Structure 1
Amino acid sequence: MKELQTGFPKGFLWGGATAANQIEGAYNEGGKGMSTSDYAAYKDPYATGKVDNFTFNVTSKELKEYQENEANYLFPKRWGIDFYHRYKEDIALFAEMGFKTFRISISWARIFPTGLETEPNEEGLAFYDKVFDECAKYGIEPLVTMSHYELPITLTEKYNGWASRELIPLFEKYARVLFNRYQSKVKYWITFNEMNMNLNSLYTGAGILEDLIDPEKKLEVTYQASHHQFLASALAVKAAKEIMPDAQIGCMINQIESYALTTKPEDQLQALKSNQLNMFYPDVQARGEYPSYMARYFSDNDINIVMEEEDAAILAEGTVDFVAISYYMSHVTEAREDAAKLAGSFDSPIKNEYLELSQWDWPIDPIGLRISLMKLYDRYELPLFVCENGLGAKDELTEDGRIHDDYRIDYIKKHVEQMKEAIKDGVDLMGYTTWGCIDLISCGTSQMSKRYGFIYVDQDDEGNGSLARYRKDSFEWYKEVIASNGENL
């Protein structure tokens, strides 16, 4: 029997997480091509009175308008927080906090500007060499996501993104370039960020322009695109094992733990089905085959997935070493007419009366993280990694250059406590990287004022500011958490 683990294990990977399209900037430097995220236009989330005014989706008409009249719009993900030029300063701050790992993504369009080139862009490769070398200087292990919500826009225009099987060999080529180049510098990899977010935004997750597909077939296109990504991920895992046998390759989902609204059996059944749709993505990537429950789901929803003869073998050969999750909230589910549509959605319209809400109306549920980790580990018996978790809030910079964010400390403290309980429950947890360890551009709203970081960046939603970095109160707190390996909270 496994021995009881009462604290975080030795070598636990504490750190923080970011994405290239939200921090790098320099969208037109170093030979980088344009990506889907470069066309996420900023919309004031308060203009409509609705806080979450998402910029997730872009239509073909909007894309054309943005390309022809760029000066009329703001595209904050193009400027990020200028990590491209300030990476040494930022990594030094992470090192000061004691980071053991730093989650970063590589921009596909910085390596292959259109995705179609025969040879990679050396200037792009060299940039990440410098970033990884800087991490190594401080003993920080990079955790690298290969595809984090940014596809070369040419692949959207030519193939309508992952709707096409043509992207599979292009991604494999990209993966092999990364593995060959960085095999001595990067041990931990994630193929696709939150692949289940395809259910929320086909443009963001799969580079698909929804107005170019049959609206009656949207769900089918979503799962067909996911199938193509499953194959690309499996081929990347197989390539990694060939090139760097000691590497660890993971998959990742946005963990959406669904609770039943009542003890009514129909509500309980709907919660189970909602959780199955969430687990479907790691089921395929960790087990190497489609789960049996999806046969009925596809039949009930008139979904026909085109699979080639070799696909089953590819999935079976390319299973991952660990399962990574982002965790921000839990959901509430009930048996209602729109239940199937809501299953897998990012935010539930049914609020949990027992939970507090963040400034962005997201339910705060630390125990839900423990529940999720226990269920995932029971299901896969693979190491788990919480690689996104954090609180988006409006921070105030005081006259003396301080940010007193006790609310963020309280949020992370409660989630760390529940991770520790999950480890005591027997969960094999590899690490924890808080989302947006330095303030960055919001994924959903492209705003800057929704801040997650331990480090404040002087920049507003329109891109104005000095870009100076300031340590928040949470900076010193997290530094102590890491130094004590999670014992001093």
Structure 2
Amino acid sequence: MSAEQLPKDFLWGGAVAAHQVEGGWDQGGKGVSICDVLSGGAHGVDRVITDGVQPGVSYPNHQAVEFYSHYKQDIALFAEMGFKCFRTSIAWTRIFPNGDELEPNEVGLQFYDDLFDELLKYNIEPVITLSHFEMPHHLVKQYGGWLNRKVVDFFVRYSEVVMKRYQSKVKYWMTFNEINNQRNWQYPLFGYCCSGVIFTDHDKPEQAMYQTLHHQFVASAKVVKLGHEINPNFKIGCMLALVPIYPWSCHPDDVMFAQEAMRQRHLFGDVQLRGYYPSYILKEWARKGYQIDMQPEDERTLREGCTDYLGFSYYMSSAVQLAAKGQKKEDAITGFDGGVKNPHVKASEWGWQIDPVGLRYTLNSFYERYQKPMFIVENGFGAVDKVETDGSISDDYRIEYLKAHIDQMKKAVVEDGVELMGYTPWGCIDCVSFTTGQYNKRYGFIHVDKHDDGTGTFKRSKKKSFDWYKKVIASNGTEL
């Protein structure tokens, strides 16, 4: 590698999730997933979790952007951009519609065979998430989601089936997408989509969250060990949502507050990458009187199932101030709505604080902590795009955002020595927004003609950023 360049085998690509692009929610024997019962929403309007699929409710994930029937066209566009990899997920309910069956659904397995074959035809490496907010709804209703330890075995069975089936086609895997989102247990959407549990329904919601997490940590470790037995060449990662928390000032109380908040990010990496619970969380449980049920063999399971790399999303940074007016300490530590406005950075229309330097800071701090390869598997800018009368879309704001982040990413690798596997911007093709259920909050290089009011033809077209990113990949990041 040149002193000024990224590695020649750097994995440039794009990222989506099955439930946000595929559609075909009831085709090919697919069962109902947890995202199939999420209504549409908007900025400031929460998505509603319904009790099963209800008549008269709009469920944008049911159609999404019809990748299920358009994937060949879309992959050809990815190849035109020069993608080296493509991150998506396997919809658990296409393989096991209810989640607790003994035998998988062959039609679902064949769909992903065809999808991966199409990617490999263009020399695009699949990067696959096993669980990306797509848990079978049946496992929620019948078993209570991941709070029930029985779900560990169901997940391991599903993972074993797909890892064996695709062992010659998929090298890069991740177990759970943004597993740390459910740390925001006060907000039902996060816990429900990560684990099928609404923690606020429980007498001790935070304890229920930690118990649920333990089951997922054990499941992840079991799958990592099993995957390496199936194919020693597999690279299996964990995936975290990383939002660096800065102290708002140099006041020692703010600095300590920020450290406490960051521990709630570190916990998820510490367990999955190091293989044990850190002392700070054990002390917290003792202070709060939490009893987390663990089996005698769990300690060894966690130790033997450490992930190979850290995949992560990065969109923004946050800041905390202990004395901030009206700020609750517990909200700031969970990191959703608790941060204070950072006067040194701008924010998107949705209030996400744009901080490219924060990406370099994150890469350095987590690489120094774990000394394992990292993989930026989500980064992007959601905006309302304007289609001109000639059909063009000049998304210079997206180019500006990505250019600034790639520049800081390069500095982390070239100047700081971070071992980085690749970069897959989120929503490389327009998709349904997870948090708001909107179509109009767009991330893609490829526009999809589908709108929040239900209209649209699903026609694909290139935005200005399409050709820009094509140039970035062709130059291995030297031309921004």
Shorter-chain TM-score: which interval?
over 0.9
Select 1:177's aligned residue among 158, 161, 171: 161
Aligned counterpart, 2:447: 456
Letter in 2 for 1:54: D
Select 1:23's aligned residue among 2, 6, 21: 21
Larger relative contact order (C-alpha < 8 A, sep ≥ 6)? 1
Closer, same or farther: CA 4–372 of 1 in aligned 2, 3 Å: farther
The CA deviation string for residues 360-414 of structure 1, in whole angstroms up to 9 with x for no partner, is 1111000000000000110011000000000000001111111000000000000
Aligned counterpart, 2:314: 327
For normalisation by structure 2, the TM-score amounts to 0.96
Which runs of 5 or more structure 2 residues have no equivalent in the other structure? 185-189
Quote the offset at 1:462 in angstroms: 3.4
Quote the offset at 1:78 in angstroms: 1.1
Name the Cα RMSD after superposition: 1.3
Are 1:25 and 1:81, in contact at CA under 8 Å, matched by a contact in 2? Answer: yes
The CA deviation string for residues 266-310 of structure 1, in whole angstroms up to 9 with x for no partner, is 110010111111011011000000011112222233322111100
1:312 and 1:475 map into 2 onto residues whose CA distance is 47
2:305 aligned with 1:313: no
1:142 and 1:87 map into 2 onto residues whose CA distance is 13
3-state DSSP class of the match of 2:424? strand
Aligned counterpart, 1:224: 211
Are 1:160 and 1:209, in contact at CA under 8 Å, matched by a contact in 2? Answer: no
Select 1:53's aligned residue among 40, 45, 68: 45
Select 2:353's aligned residue among 363, 383, 390: 363
Are 2:320 and 2:339, in contact at CA under 8 Å, matched by a contact in 1? Answer: no
2:105 aligned with 1:121: yes
Quote the offset at 1:350 in angstroms: 0.9
2:453 aligned with 1:469: no
3-state DSSP class of the match of 2:127? strand
Quote the offset at 1:211 in angstroms: 5.6
2:175 and 2:337 map into 1 onto residues whose CA distance is 24
1:53 and 1:390 map into 2 onto residues whose CA distance is 22
1:476 and 1:13 map into 2 onto residues whose CA distance is 18
Aligned counterpart, 2:340: 350
Select 1:296's aligned residue among 274, 277, 283: 283
2:293 and 2:347 map into 1 onto residues whose CA distance is 42
1:471 and 1:4 map into 2 onto residues whose CA distance is 33
Aligned counterpart, 2:12: 14
Aligned counterpart, 1:105: 89
Letter in 2 for 1:98: G
Select 2:436's aligned residue among 426, 437, 445: 445
The CA deviation string for residues 120-145 of structure 1, in whole angstroms up to 9 with x for no partner, is 00000000000000000000000000
Quote the offset at 1:5 in angstroms: 4.1
Are 1:190 and 1:251, in contact at CA under 8 Å, matched by a contact in 2? Answer: yes
2:201 and 2:329 map into 1 onto residues whose CA distance is 26
Letter in 2 for 1:25: G
1:334 and 1:297 map into 2 onto residues whose CA distance is 21
Closer, same or farther: CA 271–324 of 1 in aligned 2, 3 Å: same
Aligned counterpart, 1:206: 195
3-state DSSP class of the match of 2:347? coil
Aligned counterpart, 1:139: 123
Are 2:207 and 2:292, in contact at CA under 8 Å, matched by a contact in 1? Answer: yes
2:59 aligned with 1:75: yes
Aligned counterpart, 1:398: 388
3-state DSSP class of the match of 1:431? strand
2:223 and 2:161 map into 1 onto residues whose CA distance is 11
Are 2:261 and 2:335, in contact at CA under 8 Å, matched by a contact in 1? Answer: no
Closer, same or farther: CA 448–255 of 1 in aligned 2, 3 Å: same
Aligned counterpart, 1:48: none
Aligned counterpart, 2:187: none
2:198 and 2:346 map into 1 onto residues whose CA distance is 36
1:226 and 1:462 map into 2 onto residues whose CA distance is 37
Letter in 2 for 1:414: A
Select 1:339's aligned residue among 329, 345, 356: 329
Letter in 1 for 2:202: I
Aligned counterpart, 1:407: 397
The CA deviation string for residues 236-287 of structure 1, in whole angstroms up to 9 with x for no partner, is 0011000011010000100010000111111100101111110110110000
3-state DSSP class of the match of 1:250? strand
Closer, same or farther: CA 23–6 of 1 in aligned 2, 3 Å: same
2:373 aligned with 1:379: no
Quote the offset at 1:212 in angstroms: 4.1
Letter in 2 for 1:9: P
The CA deviation string for residues 432-477 of structure 1, in whole angstroms up to 9 with x for no partner, is 0000000000000111000000000000013320100010000000
Are 2:331 and 2:337, in contact at CA under 8 Å, matched by a contact in 1? Answer: no
Aligned counterpart, 2:274: 287
Closer, same or farther: CA 52–386 of 1 in aligned 2, 3 Å: farther
Aligned counterpart, 1:255: 242
For normalisation by structure 1, the TM-score amounts to 0.94
Letter in 2 for 1:369: L
Aligned counterpart, 2:409: 419
The CA deviation string for residues 73-127 of structure 1, in whole angstroms up to 9 with x for no partner, is 1000111100000000000000000000000101111100000100000000000
Letter in 1 for 2:30: K
Select 1:94's aligned residue among 68, 78, 99: 78
The CA deviation string for residues 143-198 of structure 1, in whole angstroms up to 9 with x for no partner, is 00000011100000011111111100110001100111000000000000000011
1:224 and 1:266 map into 2 onto residues whose CA distance is 30
Are 1:5 and 1:426, in contact at CA under 8 Å, matched by a contact in 2? Answer: no
Closer, same or farther: CA 10–348 of 1 in aligned 2, 3 Å: farther
The CA deviation string for residues 6-25 of structure 1, in whole angstroms up to 9 with x for no partner, is 22111000000000000000
Number of equivalent positions:
471
Structure 1 window deviating more from structure 2 (296-305 vs 73-82): it is 296-305
Are 1:4 and 1:426, in contact at CA under 8 Å, matched by a contact in 2? Answer: no
Letter in 2 for 1:245: P
